[in-house]
Structure 1
């Protein structure tokens, strides 16, 4: 299906230790995390909160396991704070990733975000004003230019509990931003959980997708989250997300569309669960086998 020369396979550390809820997997070490990633057959990872920030130390640990850094999350607050505040922290983040050899920078707008708040995930979802949309788009265009100074790209991460969550909101952001400076991260789980138009993004914006997060959803848990008005963090604890092949999403059409479009880049498993309930290595092996069986890589 895929040209194996174009595809890199990675997995996020959030299955081992959750950055937003460090009590989930708090006992799991950085070394255990990347060792089990490599053991499961992955060659890339994003940066977690236990990863060394000293690039020499981090490079050595990864090289021993034939691993590399694919990217790392960066929170922007372009809708609620001055652009200059975001600019300075972004440059530092960019330079760290550049030294680690990453080509893309994952960016998510956290202005008004409720993903860390104990409020109903769907009822209290933030909605941007037109003025905020303009601030966001202009700010992202500027960050995209800063990334390009180092030969990198920003990929915008639509996310549950934020102002860019639904397919419609992704469409709007793409229409407002410069396609030469702002690319898109496609996250199967967040779009599926948010609405039933998860695959329209692949149809509408394939030319801007430069990074992919593979996340599955358990429909029975997602239904409880909606019906009982549960917050995002509790949804994760309950097991709303899982690895590809263990939930409801049929990934065959996703892989087929990416392949037909000659997608080049990372396919990165990102399935935040409670590692006390879902052993990270077991689920990493499960995901790797599923991707091999369905995508042929």
Structure 2
């Protein structure tokens, strides 16, 4: 039933958020452990965490039986043409490495409207109509140029504390963009964090789902986060993202809904855990992989 869904994991599930941070697991240990846990697909994580020489990275992944599914970039396209050159410089580096290591996707995450460490408000959480127009137009341009220059498909990742987060914002974004150019990376944890229903989104906008991140939130911690207005970074340190099957949404119906689309999809496990003890990720990763196998994935 789930034979068209390819399961993987990412540096995020090892507590990696930054290219270089002494509290994070070293990249060789991440590669060793993600393979040991039973995954065969990985994402690049923050650019510079894994080797950026594609020949070296291909060698390091191949000898562990791993392949790269996607790279990730952060963008602020709602700010218009003024940010294009800096955006493209960043995107180009990541897209080239993703292409040269065999990936076919580029995950695009909108910029945060508040600081994910301090909760300082950086921008208004609601975009103006003109900013929505700029976001849609900029994303379509990015999709075209990434496709033409690097042969990759972009998948836009709704994310907590960004302007593409709630069901209202996600559907507005989808309705404003060309379905032939722009699809989603549906992160089940972030969507639940922001009050969305992943199964309903898949059933309603199935043709726009191009990639999955599998994640759960702890509903009790989330209730406290919402009540206090806690920013995403501190919420992660509070344990808002949890090991499946302990949280929401239930992943079995999400995977079943995705399987009904009858398309090839990556489903990459991402349990935000920054920062975490270095020995914490591997046992969780092994249990999560076993759980997903019990779901048929």
Deviates more, 1:239-248 or 1:150-159: 239-248
The TM-score, its normalising length taken from structure 2, stands at: 0.91
1:116 positional shift: 2.0
- For the 8 Å contact 1:115–1:162, the answer to whether it is kept is no
Corresponding residue for residue 36 of structure 1: 33
1:175 aligns with 2:175: yes
From 6, 14, 17, the counterpart of 1:16 = 14
**SS of aligned partner of 1:106:** strand
CA distance in 2, matches of 1:233, 1:33: 21
CA distance in 2, matches of 1:144, 1:204: 22
Corresponding residue for residue 226 of structure 1: 226
1:265 positional shift: 2.1
1:277 positional shift: 8.7
Corresponding residue for residue 79 of structure 1: 78
CA distance in 2, matches of 1:209, 1:89: 25
1:56 positional shift: 1.2
- For the 8 Å contact 1:14–1:272, the answer to whether it is kept is yes
1:248 positional shift: 3.1
Corresponding residue for residue 110 of structure 2: 109
Please provide the CA RMSD for this pair: 2.1
When residues 221 and 120 of structure 1 are mapped into structure 2, their CA distance, relative to the original with a 3 A threshold, is farther
1:246 aligns with 2:243: no
After TM superposition, list the pairs within 5 Å mapping 1:1-297 onto structure 2.
1-2=1-2, 4=3, 6-20=4-18, 26-49=23-46, 50-80=49-79, 81-110=82-111, 113-119=113-119, 126-149=125-148, 150-273=150-273, 274-276=275-277, 279-294=280-295, 296-297=296-297
CA distance in 2, matches of 1:139, 1:101: 26
Q: Which runs of 4+ in 1 moved over 6 A?
A: none
**SS of aligned partner of 2:179:** coil
1:83 positional shift: 2.4
**SS of aligned partner of 2:77:** coil
**SS of aligned partner of 1:133:** helix
CA distance in 2, matches of 1:185, 1:212: 5
Q: How many residues align?
A: 290
When residues 232 and 162 of structure 1 are mapped into structure 2, their CA distance, relative to the original with a 3 A threshold, is same
- For the 8 Å contact 1:45–1:68, the answer to whether it is kept is yes
CA distance in 2, matches of 1:82, 1:125: 18
1:167 positional shift: 1.1
CA distance in 2, matches of 1:291, 1:125: 38
**SS of aligned partner of 1:72:** strand
1:57 positional shift: 1.3
Unaligned runs of 5+ in 1: none
When residues 120 and 200 of structure 1 are mapped into structure 2, their CA distance, relative to the original with a 3 A threshold, is farther
1:263 positional shift: 3.1
1:224 positional shift: 1.3
Unaligned runs of 5+ in 2: none
- Tell me the alpha carbon deviations over residues 266-292 of structure 1, each in whole angstroms, 9 at most, x when there is no partner: 110000114329810111111101111
**SS of aligned partner of 2:127:** coil
- Tell me the alpha carbon deviations over residues 181-215 of structure 1, each in whole angstroms, 9 at most, x when there is no partner: 11111110001011143432112211111110000
**SS of aligned partner of 2:52:** coil
- For the 8 Å contact 2:187–2:214, the answer to whether it is kept is yes
When residues 217 and 62 of structure 1 are mapped into structure 2, their CA distance, relative to the original with a 3 A threshold, is same
The TM-score, its normalising length taken from structure 1, stands at: 0.91
